[in-house]
Amino acid sequence: MTDQDVERALGIVLGGRAKARKILAQTTLRHLAGLKEAELARFMPLETARRLAATFALGRAVLAPPKKTMLFTPEDAYAHVYPYLSGHEAERFVVVAIDVRHQVLATAVVAEGAPNVVKPRLSDVFAVAVRHRAAAIVVAHNHPSEIAQPSLADHELTKALVEAGALLGIPVLDHLVVCSQSFWGLVHNTGEVRVPIIQATP
């Protein structure tokens, strides 16, 4: 979308392009999309904030790959964690506990960080697995920069997670770096994988 398209669409939700222009002069659409209703209400009346939050939620639902309840491939894992990570300006770290049939037992956000870093504690990561008696886990975090390539810190964290999982008997099947339309699997070093996202019908 062009800047004019964004302004026009936001104006429809807010009740006028002038209102949209005023808000976009203070912040970005991406920032707004990551805010909760109460935080959006700093920029607009509460009822309008509720409407805008619902609009953003619907947009994320349309763009998300079909969610999986059984994880057999990295693409399945990406589709499952996408709703937990998409649209956030700061990095978040998600743990998915699965059973021996690769059925999802639980999914939890265990850490939130800055726009370029998140530092989950190993104990928090494996607490999810232990709590749900998981046979294995898949972990993931987002890169708000939209660059899926992992950092040195991402590789070091993956190594620590895999080693801890081996000691506990809870294997880490993969660690995904998630972007809006691509991901990178660190455990098997699958490289950047681009996943087609269903686009909304005009």
> Among the three residues 63, 91, 115, which one is the final residue of a domain in this structure?
63
- Report d(CA 167, CA 152) in Å as an integer: 23
Predicted confidence (pLDDT) at residue 182 exceeds the cutoff of 60: yes
Report yes or no on 200 lying in a domain: no
Q: Do 88 and 154 reside in the same domain of the chain?
A: yes
Q: List residues bridging with 178 in a β-sheet.
A: 142, 183
Which residues constitute the domain of residue 94?
Answer: 74-194
92: phi then psi, degrees, rounded to nearest 5: -125, 155
- Report d(CA 82, CA 175) in Å as an integer: 13
Q: How many structural domains compose the chain?
A: 2
- Report d(CA 138, CA 59) in Å as an integer: 26
- With CA atoms as reference, report the closest residue to 93 among 142, 148, 34: 142
What's CA 1's distance to the chain center, in Å?
Answer: 22
Per-residue pLDDT reduced to its tens digit, 44-72:
888 888 889 888 888 776 665 556 588 99
Average confidence score pLDDT of the chain: 89
CATH of the domain at 116: 3.40.140.10
Predicted confidence (pLDDT) at residue 201 exceeds the cutoff of 60: no
